[in-house]
Homo-oligomer: A and B are copies of this chain.
Amino acid sequence: MDPTDQLILRELSQSGRMTMKELGEKVHLTGQATAARVLKLEEAGIIDGYTIRVPKEKIGYPVHAFVTAIMHEPRHQKFLDELDSQPDTVSRYFKTSGEGCYLIECHFPTHQELDDFLNGISEFASYKVTIAIQQYGQ
């Protein structure tokens, strides 16, 4: 992970589909040398994959919420299965220290679906909801 690799990561984070030739120009290498470096980064797991950025509001999911879940009982698996069964709404979730047991990032078409989600969750956990009004960065 020399400075060239770091630059590669920065450039690919911004524009992950540019050609190796283009990327090579940015880091002052040939396309082939650049591709070899990228391959190494992939093999090391530093580049874990390639994705697209899709603003959720553009695909009908404008309501963005963070739900802190405080579990009622120690068996969590059914709760986690419940989360995994809704990949469209549940983007990511984390086991956490701090106030809750889990922090869930999720997106919904309307507040109605958020309400439905919370009702589904309430079987397993009590919760606290934080609505994201505006996102910065990324």
Could you list which residues of chain A lie within 8 angstroms of chain B, going by C-beta atoms? Answer: 1, 9, 12-17, 44-55, 58-59, 64, 66, 68, 80, 83-84, 87, 90-100, 103, 128-138
Contacts and interface: CB of A to CB of B under 8 A. Distances in A.
Contacts of A95: 132-134, 136
A97 to B, nearest CB: 4
B58 A45 contact: yes
B44 A48 contact: no
Chain copies in complex: 2
B131 A97 contact: yes
A53 B50 contact: yes
A130 B80 CA distance: 19
Nearest to A38: B52
B59 A48 contact: no
